[in-house]
Structure 1
Amino acid sequence: MKRLVSVLLILGSSLLLASCSSQANSDYQDAMTQAKSAVDKENYSTAQAQYNKALTAKKSDQTAQASLKQVKLMRTADMDIQQAKKTNAKEKLQQVAATEHGNSTLVKQAKMLQTKLPTVIKQQKNYQHELAQARSLSDNGNFVGSNAAIRKLLAKKSINQTYYTTVRSTARGIRSSNNASISSQKRTATQNSQQPTIAKP
C-alpha cells in the first residue's frame, strides 16, 4: 500500500511539473511572438516588456536576454537622437548591431538608422530651432504668431517619424498653452466691453 502511495505521489509530481513546464513554454512563445511583432513596428517599449515576460518564463534564455539588451539600447539611442547627441546614438546603434544571438530585425534596423543618423540629427537640430522660435514668440505674448510657427512645423512630413516625438509633444504643449492664453484674452476683452460706461457729470 505504501509503495502504491509513493508511486502515485511521484506520478502526480511528474504530471504537475510537466504541466508547469508546458505553461511556461507557452508563455515564453507567446511573449517572444508579441515582442517580434512590436520590433517589426519599432515599438521598442512594448518589445522590452514582452522580452521581460519571456525571461520570466525562461530566465536563462539566451535569445530573450540578447534581444532585451538590444531593445534597451535602441530606446537609449532614440533618447540620444531626441537630444541630437549623434556620437552617443551611434555608439548604442553599433552595440545593437554587434549583439549576438539576438533579434536579427533589430540588427537591420540599427544598421539602417546608422546610415540615416547624420540626416536625422541635422533635422532634429532644425526642428529644435523652429521650436525655440515658437516658444520665444509665446513668451513675448505673440500667441497667434507662435501658433502659426507651430502649425508650419507640424505640417512637415518627416516630423511624424519616431525620432521627433519630443519635438511634436513639446510643440503641441506650447500650442495648447497659447490657445488657453488667447481664450483668456478674449474673455477679458468681452468683459471689458460689457462694462457700463459711467457718464461724467
Structure 2
Amino acid sequence: YYTNVPVGDVAIKNVADLYLYPNTLRAVVITGAQVKEWLEMSAGIFNQVEPGAKDAVLINPAFPSYNYDVIDGVTYEIDLSQKPKYDKDGNVINADSRRIKNLSFDGKPVDPAQKFVVATNNYRAGGGGNFPDIKDDKVVLVAPDTNRDVLVRYIVEQGTINPSADANWKFAAMPGTTVVFETGPKARDFIGDVKSIKIEDAGEGTEGFAKFRITL
C-alpha cells in the first residue's frame, strides 16, 4: 500500500516502485454516471464503518490495492458508513448502496450524462478488475507508451518535482469515529504534511509496519 522515494535524484527504480506494471497508456470516454460507478468500485477497498466506532480497521485486505483508483480532476467524498456496492471481483453486492457523495467537476455537481475523457492504462481500459462499464468499446486513445515511460519523461522534462496530493477526495465526516490502517514506519516523518485530515501515530502494527489513526 505504499512506497518510499527519498529526497534527491530520482532513479528509474523509483519510478518502477511508483508504477509496478508495464501497462501502456489508454484513454476512455465515459459518462458522469460511469465515473461515479468507477469510484464506487474503487471504494470497495474500505471496510464499512459504524458511526461512533473507535479504531475500526479501514482497509479490506482481500481487495487488491491495484484496483483502488483515484480519478483526478473531479472532487468527491467517500461515505464509510455505507456498505460497499461492489465486491473485489466487480459483482454488485449492495445495489442500493451509495458511498460516493458530492461528486463535482469545476465546482459543479457532475451531470450523469456529462462526458469525460479519462487517462488510464490498457489493463483497466480492457476490462481489468471488472470495473462497471469500462471496456474496450470506450477507448478513444491507444498509445504505445508505457505509463512508466510517461512518468519518466515528465520527471526529466520538469527537472525538479515536488509531488503532493491535491486532496481532491476525502472521507465523509463521521463525528466521534476513528479508523486505523498500517503502512511503512517512515510515514511518521510526514504526518505533519497531511493537512486535509486528522491523522496520528497509533503505535506499532504487525510485521514491522506502523499503525496510524484517522479521525473521521
- TM-score (structure 2 length as normaliser): 0.21
Higher relative contact order (CA 8 A, sep 6+): 2
- TM-score (structure 1 length as normaliser): 0.22
* More strand, by proportion: 2
